[in-house]
Amino acid sequence: MTFETILYSTKNGVSEIRLNRPDRMNAVVEQLYDDVLAALDEAELDPKVRVIVLTGEGRAFCAGADLKEHATGERTALQKRQYLIKANDVCERLRKVTKPVIAAVNGYAVGAGAEMAVSSDFIIMKASAKIWFPEISIGTFVGGGISSVLPQLVGITRARELIMTGRRIAGPEAVEMNLAIRYFPDDEFDAGVAEFAQEIAAKAPLSLKLAKKHLNTAGNTPYEAALIMELEGILACMTTRDWQEGIDAFAEKRSPDFTGE
């Protein structure tokens, strides 16, 4: 597929979706949301893809909504609603796509950009990158399920602070508060993201799928139900070739070569 507002590539089991409006700091327009959704679908269907990396071209991850377009005031009420639904669809898709998603925050992640990052499974940041939620400061509100997801990551008190003050958080502090999983010095960022992606890509695909699904619903799953769901997950894994490969590799003291079968 060809895309207007993103760059899409796959290598060594890792699919990269790179937001590509650097002249606008990768600010969001409808076409960008459409392209991200289409790229996620492509990565989902590609059996070679184990992990998805979402990042930005240039000096920003995503500077949020393209306020230049909003400022024209040309959208009807229906068009505004459709735009917001599409924004929600992208965040929901990032959480529900069955493959792990790494948000590689290479620069500013603002508003809608921060929402996409938080909707991913992992956030990795450049030390100098900053993430923040400016919505309340400009008279609007957060979207993408952030009022539900963010407290699960950083706790309700910290989530209140981030959303109500719009304070900018750099990589080291984001890791300290459990918003990001890792940060790297700027000149080590690309290599660090690639190494982390490969670490996950080496794992069994079905097991990864089960882990993502169960962990993303952990807050709503009673303990007794989790026991049953995990049991069924283990039994499902035991019917696969990858399960046997994992057992054989352990016995032979080598790294497993999973195929997703």
Which residue is catalytic, options 115, 232, 252, 261? 115
Catalytic residue flag (residue 135): yes
Let me know if 61 is exposed, middle or buried by CB neighbors in 10 A (0-12, 13-18, 19+): buried
Which residue is catalytic, options 135, 161, 199, 224? 135
Q: Identify whether the C-beta of residue 236 lies closer than 8 Å to the C-beta of residue 86.
A: no
SS (H, E, C) 210-242: HHHHHHHCHHHCCHHHHHHHHHHHHHHHCCCHH
| Beta carbons within 8 Å of 106's beta carbon, 6+ residues apart | 55, 56, 59, 60, 61, 126, 129, 189
Name the nearest CA neighbour of 240 among 215, 224, 258, 252. 258
Let me know if 216 is exposed, middle or buried by CB neighbors in 10 A (0-12, 13-18, 19+): middle
Distances (CA, A) of 178 to 124, 126, 155, 191, 220: 11, 15, 9, 22, 20
DSSP conformation class of 14: E
CA distance 122 to 107: 16
Catalytic residues: 115, 135
